[in-house]
Amino acid sequence: PAFALLGGSVAALGVWKWLAKRQIQEKREEARRTKDEGMRKIAKAVQQFREKVPSAQTDAILSLPLLELTRRLQEGSLSPKTVLYTYLEKALEVTQHTNCLQRFIPECEEQLQEIQEQGEKGLLYGIPVSIKDHIGYKGHLSTCGLVQCLGTVVQEDSVLVKVLKTQGAIPFAVTNVPQSLFSYDCSNPIFGQTLNPLNPQKSPGGSSGGEGALIAGGGSILGIGSDIGGSIRLPSSFCGLCGFKPTAQRLSPFDHLLQPAWLEQCLLNVGLCFPPTPVPCALGPMARDVDSLALCMKALLCQEMFQLDPKKMLRVVSLLQVYSGRAALRVGYYDTDGYFPLPPGVRRSLRDTVAALRQAGHQLVPFSPPRIHYVMNELFLKTFFADGGRAWLDMFTGDTVDPSLKSQVNCCKIPRLGKKLLALILKPLHFLLPLRLKHIAFFSTCRSVKEMWNHQHQIQAYRTEFIAHWTQLQLDVVLCPVLGPAFTTGYPGRLLTAISSTMLYNVLNFPAGVVPVSTVTEADEEELKLYRGCCDDPWDHTLKQAVAGAVGLPVAVQCVALPWQEELCLRFMKEVETLSHEK
């Protein structure tokens, strides 16, 4: 009887697991069917529009920069309907090749009618805008690529969506993201892998990778992403776009589903009620040029934003006045942070940009960011895994883990004592460690509320130290590298800490943006063969493999300013862009 009971229990457990997997699969299939049905409906609507207006100049509209497009929409020489359907058609084409969209927003046609009935035209009147998956839009899902989020419909537009609508913009598409948002690739088990439109073998970056692919492919002229470790700047770098991360509190950082739920739960797990967010998430624009970013920021930093979200800090500064400034800048610069040396093409592009800025009359000052190893190993990763990764792992309950995240998930599953023992044993063999084992030392935890508060104090102390170093050199802005060129798909998950160049400015909460300035040359590719990185260890070898075969792909630089100096950062980005075009 005991054996029979045991056998029956095992069989019942097997059936239960099979049913659970089947239920998950059905949810995924339903989400994909809903996506496909939405695509067919939009394709039909576009076809009907084309039959009614066969003379619409699609290519001419798609080629217009945002500032010129807004001018024509404002003066009435282009209709919002023609522009919307032109971008809907192009977005359909781009997503067929890249899988960058999760869904279209059918309500865009209602918004089209509403803006045409408004008396006053907003700054983004008639502009189709794409938004990242987890930015809330009423009546739609915000999945974060997770099965457990498929049943939760957003009940109200996020503040950002409300402000976009007030300014006359038409949110029309929701773009794909990596599972749980904690990746700079763009893949999840529900909607699949998004590809880079410039090279389908390459990743578009993440976590705003769907935005990057859609805009780079020409299917959107302006997109909104979010950034907590480089999630706007990395896709912009990989896809050859301009992307901007403001100071986090400038644009609704605690909007609906913006801060990853697992991060807030992580802080609660160590005893912090109403937890502060020591490394906050920031919303920001992505577009083809810096002028588009400046216009978007000007539109969003309006009175409506501050009425809807009183937590925002209202800085009464004329963005146009600072952005249009011509005074010479004192620019700090570095081509490596000493933590993760970047490929030859990135360092070459940065040196070329330094030379161009110097020739244009700006003062260039060597700058070395302090203690990057400490920032990466202690400040950044301990914020995200203060509870040992428990909250993050809970997000995958009953779900399949995407291959790009398996390395990190497996590390988090190791018991805390096991991590400490392994780190102690393997520390002397640091340079001989396989790639996966090197993650172990990074997933350190906060063992008490006191330790968590001390950790937050350490972040504030580092910010103070960094700003003191900056002001001692009397810098206006800093020019530095950003990870690139685009990685081959699958590689971002194997190189989590390669993004120290962007992570630093999330810890500091400084405004930062990227500007494409060059492309990978044959000479860069040849020099890559000699690349040894920092330690010539497995991580350096993996980076070399990740960026190989990138001739012709864009290379970007990163521009940084002090907190709340978004206008100055954008002005510096514009200067870099102008000089790169002249060159």
| Beta pairing, strands 170-175 & 101-104 | antiparallel
Question: Known catalytic residue: 202?
Answer: no
Q: What is the three-state SS of 507-562? A: HCCCCEEEEEEEECCHHHHHHHCCCCCCCCCHHHHHHHHHHCCCCCCEEEEEEECC
Q: In angstroms, rounded to a whole number, what is the distance separating the alpha carbons of residues 266 and 272?
A: 9
Q: In angstroms, rounded to a whole number, what is the distance separating the alpha carbons of residues 12 and 79?
A: 62
Pull the structure tokens for residue 517.
């300035």
| Beta pairing, strands 330-333 & 477-481 | parallel
Element (DSSP H or E) covering residue 576: helix 566-582
Identify any residues that bridge with 309 across adjacent strands, giving them in sequence order.
Answer: none
Mean pLDDT per segment of 10 residues, for the chain of length 583 residues? 66 70 91 97 96 90 98 97 98 98 97 92 97 95 93 92 97 97 96 98 98 98 96 98 95 55 50 61 97 96 84 59 87 94 96 98 97 88 78 88 91 78 64 45 65 88 97 98 97 92 97 98 96 82 95 98 96 98 87
Half-sphere exposure of 20 (CA within 13 A, CB side): 11
Residue 99 gets which letter from DSSP?
-
pLDDT of residue 48: 96
pLDDT of residue 430: 53
Question: Known catalytic residue: 207?
Answer: yes
DSSP-derived secondary structure for 311-373: TS------HHHHHT--S--EEEE-S--SSSPPPHHHHHHHHHHHHHHHHTT-EEEE---S-HH
Who contacts 76 (Cβ-Cβ below 8 Å, separation ≥6)?
A: none
Pull the structure tokens for residue 336.
């490596």
Phi, psi of 422 (to 5 degrees): -65, -40
Question: Known catalytic residue: 180?
Answer: no
Q: In angstroms, rounded to a whole number, what is the distance separating the alpha carbons of residues 86 and 162?
A: 23
Q: Are 511 and 540 in contact (CB under 8 A)?
A: no
Q: Are 542 and 273 in contact (CB under 8 A)?
A: no
- Which residue is catalytic, options 81, 90, 121, 132? 132
Q: Are 512 and 559 in contact (CB under 8 A)?
A: yes
Cα 159 to the chain's mean position, in Å?
Answer: 19
Q: pTM for the full model?
A: 0.93
Summarize the annotated binding site as residue ranges: 181, 207, 228-231
CA-to-CA dists, residue 87 to 127, 160, 214, 570, angstroms = 10, 21, 10, 26
Element (DSSP H or E) covering residue 265: helix 261-269
**C-alpha radius of gyration, the chain, whole number:** 24
Domains and CATH numbers, the chain: 14-316 (3.90.1300.10), 326-371+451-582 (3.90.1300.10), 387-446 (no CATH)
Q: Is 461 exposed, middle or buried (0-12, 13-18, 19+ CB in 10 A)?
A: exposed
Q: Are 246 and 300 in contact (CB under 8 A)?
A: no
Q: Where are the beta strands (DSSP E) in 62-175?
A: 101-104, 128-132, 170-175
Q: Which residues of 253-280 are buried (b: 16+ CB within 10 A; e: fewer)?
A: bebbbbbbbbbbbbbebbebeebebbbb
Question: Per the omega criterion (within 30 degrees of 0), is the bond before 207 cis?
Answer: yes
Pull the structure tokens for residue 413.
């599953």
Q: Are 84 and 128 in contact (CB under 8 A)?
A: yes
Q: In angstroms, rounded to a whole number, what is the distance separating the alpha carbons of residues 467 and 299?
A: 29
Summarize the annotated binding site for substrate as residue ranges: 181, 207, 228-231
* Amino acid letter for position 208: S
pLDDT of residue 340: 87
Question: Per the omega criterion (within 30 degrees of 0), is the bond before 485 cis?
Answer: yes
pLDDT of residue 7: 66
Angle, helix 449-472 to helix 500-507, in steps of 10 degrees = 100
pLDDT of residue 267: 45
Cα 117 to the chain's mean position, in Å?
Answer: 35
Q: Is 314 exposed, middle or buried (0-12, 13-18, 19+ CB in 10 A)?
A: exposed
Neighbours of 302 (CB within 10 A): 14
| Beta pairing, strands 242-245 & 282-287 | antiparallel
Q: Are 524 and 344 in contact (CB under 8 A)?
A: yes
Pull the structure tokens for residue 450.
């006191």
Who contacts 204 (Cβ-Cβ below 8 Å, separation ≥6)?
A: 98, 100, 186, 194, 195, 196, 197, 210, 212, 213, 216, 235, 238, 239, 486
Closest CA to 78 of 221, 284, 174: 221
Residue 560 sits at the vertex; the CA angle it makes with 500 and 492, to the nearest 5 degrees, is: 30
CA-to-CA dists, residue 206 to 199, 338, 377, 496, angstroms = 16, 23, 21, 12
Q: What is the three-state SS of 169-237? A: CEEEEEECCCHHHCCCCCEECCCEECCECCECCECCCCCCHHHHHHHHCCCCCEEEEEECCCCCHHHHH
- Which residue is catalytic, options 183, 207, 237, 292? 207
